[in-house]
Amino acid sequence: MLKVAVLVSGRGTNLEAILKEKHKGNLEKCEISCVISNNKEAYALEVAKSYDVSAIAICEKKQKDFENKLLKKLNDRDIGLVVLAGFIKILSPSFIISYNKPIINVHPALIPSFCGKGYYGLKVHQAALEKGVKVSGATVHFVNEIPDGGKIILQKAVEVKEGDTPEILQKRIMEEAEWVLLPKAIDLISRENL
């Protein structure tokens, strides 16, 4: 059974999509062991508790202190997969090397478009709308030392519609792509189909 830790910073919508799939009896080859946030006020911690999943806040200001505590929590719990689900901190190359197990991220665009440092949240959708793209979507990828630079696991396109605002586009991409792709990627990894 693959032990999974989900890292979050905000509302926990992607986390909830994962937990719903697990609750339905899917994701049977993995256990969502804990949810860890860099923000003690993150609503995602409440979402975790509502599914009886351990919710942990690590609120160290210094990156190195945060990552040292995070690495200890992951190792203590024998975590085999880390899922970044709305986690806004960028993990350092030294952390990625030290952890040395798969880390995946969901990005709210079709990589290589609108990705990399500085592209997160509504900024991604604003950039897509300013460029006038007709299709956007989401990507789940492995995390490496380059922000949004790891190997792509899954992608799903979502239509950009006339009159979309960043908020409307964000909601459609979450519902049609992110909430579908992230549990699917976890399932593939837990079944060692990657």
Hey, which residues are catalytic here? 107
Q: What strands, in cross-sheet order, belong to the sheet with 152-159?
A: 54-57, 30-37, 2-8, 81-84, 103-107, 135-142, 152-159
Compute the Cα dihedral for 70, 22, 104, 43 and give only its sign. Answer: negative
DSSP-assigned beta bridge partners for residue 82: 5, 103
Nearest-angstrom CA–CA distance, 193 and 89 = 28
Nearest CA-CA partner of 87 in 157, 18, 187, 153: 18
Nearest-angstrom CA–CA distance, 47 and 50 = 5
Given the DSSP bridges, would you call strands 135-142 and 103-107 parallel, antiparallel or unpaired? antiparallel
Nearest CA-CA partner of 182 in 91, 83, 97: 83
The DSSP secondary-structure symbol of 91 reads P
